[in-house]
Amino acid sequence: MEKTFGRPRSLKAAPFRYCPGCGHSLIHRLIAECIDGMGIREKVVGIAPVGCAVFSYDYFNFDILESAHGRPPAVATALKRVMPSRIIFSYQGDGDLAAIGTSEIVHAAARGENISVFFVNNANYGMTGGQMAPTTILGQRTTTTPGGRCVATEGYPLRVSEFLATIEGVAFIQRVSLDSYRELTVAKAAIEKAFRYQMEGKGFSFVEILSPCPTDWGLSPKASLEWIRTALLKVYPTGLLKDKYMGDS
């Protein structure tokens, strides 16, 4: 992959409006660098739902389609089937993909749709005030679990990557994090692989990205990165969960 210096062509010359320390701006940059490095900007279509991801069209310098909450995998399926030469990806948060959108993501994976999915896990509903999400970990305080998430009342956190990895139609799943420069390089490589597998027709690819949310976590940007390391990674360890083509890649 080519090295990218300065602003990637796949990002507009617009300042990010995300909260200080938010991981979305980093993820946008990684996706844009991969797209530029692979030379696919004119072929890419991104799909974003309700949530912080909704602002994607303000920043990505290629076609972005907005969809209803939780429905990007269904929309991505339709686009890929009618425009198979395009590179289609969805960009979704945990309140979207892991809650209202569980049906769509599960069945897109089961069908082995040849799309790439980037799943931003910040363990809460970031845009709407920091409510508990399916990925909120036990003991975590949110606006709807002020005493901390409790098994007796709210149940266990949902490990999306692990259960999707059991589905036969899935080609590639990896969980990555944004808590250090080293992890950013790992995340970028996983994003590139998800695009490459789609270009090679290998099927459904999924990258889960552990991302800081300082505002709703009530922490500084620096402390948010530390909380990922000390709390979130214990529940959602990073690593490769599935690769049907590891020997070929």
Q: Tens-digit pLDDT profile for the chain (249 aa)?
A: 445 458 999 999 999 999 999 999 999 999 999 999 999 999 999 999 988 888 899 999 999 999 999 999 999 999 999 999 999 999 999 989 999 999 999 999 999 999 999 999 999 998 888 899 999 999 999 999 999 999 999 999 999 999 999 999 999 999 999 999 999 999 999 999 999 999 999 999 999 999 999 999 999 999 999 999 999 999 999 999 999 998 775
Residue 2 domain-assigned (yes or no): no
Residue 225 domain-assigned (yes or no): yes
Q: What is the CATH number of the domain that holds 77?
A: 3.40.50.970
Report H helices in 60-124.
Answer: 72-82, 94-95, 102-111
Residue 11 domain-assigned (yes or no): no
Residue 38 domain-assigned (yes or no): yes
Angle at 182 between CA 96 and CA 134, to 5 degrees: 20
Overall pTM > 0.85: yes
Residue 51 domain-assigned (yes or no): yes
Residue 16 domain-assigned (yes or no): no
Report H helices in the chain.
Answer: 24-38, 56-59, 72-82, 94-95, 102-111, 151-154, 160-164, 181-199, 214-217, 221-227, 233-235
Q: Residue 47 sits in which domain range?
A: 24-243
Total count of domains within the chain: 1
Strands 239-243 and 44-48: unpaired
How far is Cα 13 from Cα 11, in angstroms, rounded to an integer? 7
Orientation of helix 24-38 relative to helix 181-199, angle to 10°: 50
